[in-house]
Amino acid sequence: MSDFPHSLLDGYRRFKANRHAREHALYRSLAEHGQKPEVMMIACSDSRSAPETIFDAAPGGIFVVRNVANLVPPWNPDGAYHGTSSALEYAVQSLQVRHVVVLGHGECGGIRAALQPSATPLSPDDFVGRWTSLLRPAVEEVATGRQLDGTERQTAVERAAVRHSVANLRTFPFIADLEDSRRLDLHGAWFDIAEGELWTLNEATGEFAMAT
């Protein structure tokens, strides 16, 4: 077995000496009393778009599930394994979060894989290819719109994917019931990695506006 990555050990030592030392009481309280976050976030696995960093969140502040292209599959209790769906169930029913946010981002590799399904080293039969097939409605939505160049099309699909994932959240009966009774709010957002800008979804218009 190879040595544990030195970069991680160095980071851990900085964390232990600095942040953990400053927030030791908070960490101890979370350990003793459990977590009670108000927000669940479905984000991408991309190393450049960590929600805790983007939102400068304290420990225990956000319940995060990350997957390729920040996708929410539709409700499908078929007996198979469903990581994102199980995290949703736990966050909404056990932790009783008040908000669920789908966070997309610029230059998403999962979106690129959906736009170029034959690109190596991925193929439609790989795990990523099968997973990103959930993006087909978003790709088709953008394809029916105005003519776009490559970068514009990538961004348009990234944002369409957020809209479709928010819609898929409502296929979960326990989420729909809580939203109908105003005990749960659903949100979409998109993060521009290069500029550090957050854009939030206006569901009434389907458009994104930059947060200030």
Question: Structure pTM?
Answer: 0.94
- Give the separation between CA 14 and CA 93, rounded to whole angstroms: 36
In this structure, are 145 and 182 located in the same domain? yes
Instruction: Say what the pLDDT of residue 145 is.
Output: 65
Could you tell me the residue range of the domain that residue 196 belongs to? 35-210
Same domain, 146 and 180: yes
Taking 50 as the pLDDT cut, the residues of the chain under it are none
Examine the domain organization and report whether 110 and 171 are in the same domain: yes
| 3-state secondary structure labels for all residues of 98-144 | CEEEEEEECCCHHHHHHHCCCCCCCCCCCHHHHHHHHHHHHHHHHHC
pLDDT digits (tens, 9 = 90+) for 37-77: 999 999 999 999 999 999 999 999 999 999 999 999 999 99
